[in-house]
Amino acid sequence: RDFSWKKVVPYWIAQVVGAFLGAAIVYQLYGPVIDHFNQVQQLTREAGGAAGVFFTAPGLAVTPMHALVDQIIITAFLIFGIFAITERFNEAAPGANSGALMIGLLVATLGASMGYLEAWAMNPARDFGPRLFAYFAGWREAALPAKDNYWWIPIVGPLIGGPIGALAYQWLILPFLPARVRHLQGDTGPLDPR
């Protein structure tokens, strides 16, 4: 909310660069373990061996369209939940700086409940930055374009799901929050400063 449109592209770029650098750090720390796993399992990077450390991929029997719908739904749930947790008119929302913990628990819950289908990007940069790193680190076609040209799904799905979750919250919940209704009716009582 209230995020300036002129900040959107620099924000996206910063997230992708940060995710790319994060993947590079993970590779630096765990590269020997990844290579050992691939060797023991007789996998190659080109075949996608241990690629799940860096980027998402569809589970067995999950079609690309199913994966796209899943990414839309899981991201919509995430954004809906974040709006509820951070809403200043939500009197039941966590206070005293526990919002970050609640958002972390929300991410973990969504991942645990829907993660099998193709892991859980929920943020285009979370998948694309590490996928780009993995491409340059030797995973090549297993990373980009990936099996069934999957690479675009963790980008497009969250970009559709995010606004759906935000709009659903704005239309279905926000208008009916008692504190907001009182505020609109002129009650000038204190609001949570979140």
Q: Tell me what pLDDT residue 124 has.
A: 94
Q: Which of 138, 139, 142, 161 is nearest to 151 (CA)?
A: 142
- Cα(76)–Cα(158) distance, integer angstroms: 8
Quick check: 162 pLDDT over 80?
Answer: yes
Return all residues near 189 (Cβ < 8 A) that are at least 6 apart: 182
| Cβ–Cβ < 8 Å for 132, 55 | no
Tell me what pLDDT residue 118 has: 86
Helices 153-172 and 124-134, interaxial angle, to 10°?
A: 170
Average the pLDDT over 135-141 and give the result: 95
| pLDDT band, very low/low/confident/very high, at 181 (cuts 50, 70, 90) | confident
Q: Of 165 and 4, which is predicted with more confidence?
A: 165
Q: How far, in Å, CA of 142 to CA of 54, rounded?
A: 11
Looking at per-residue pLDDT, the higher value among 37 and 186 belongs to 37
| Residue 168 CB burial class (10 angstroms; 0-12, 13-18, ≥19) | middle
The pLDDT of residue 191 is 56
Q: What is the pLDDT at residue 89?
A: 86
Q: What is the pLDDT of residues 44-78, one digit of tens each?
A: 988 888 988 999 999 889 999 999 999 999 999 99
Q: What is the pTM of this model?
A: 0.88
Confidence grade of residue 110 (pLDDT, cut at 50, 70, 90): very high
d(CA 25, CA 84): 33
Name the pLDDT band for 182 (thresholds 50, 70, 90): confident
| The 3-state secondary structure of 39-99, one letter per residue | HHCCCCCCCCCCHHHCCCCCCCCCCHHHHHHHHHHHHHHHHHHHHHHHCCCCCCCCCCCCH
**% of residues, the chain, pLDDT over 90:** 70
Annotate 53-73 with b (16+ C-beta within 10 A) or e (fewer). Answer: ebbbbbeeebebeebbbbbbb
Domains detected in the chain: 5-184 (1.20.1080.10)
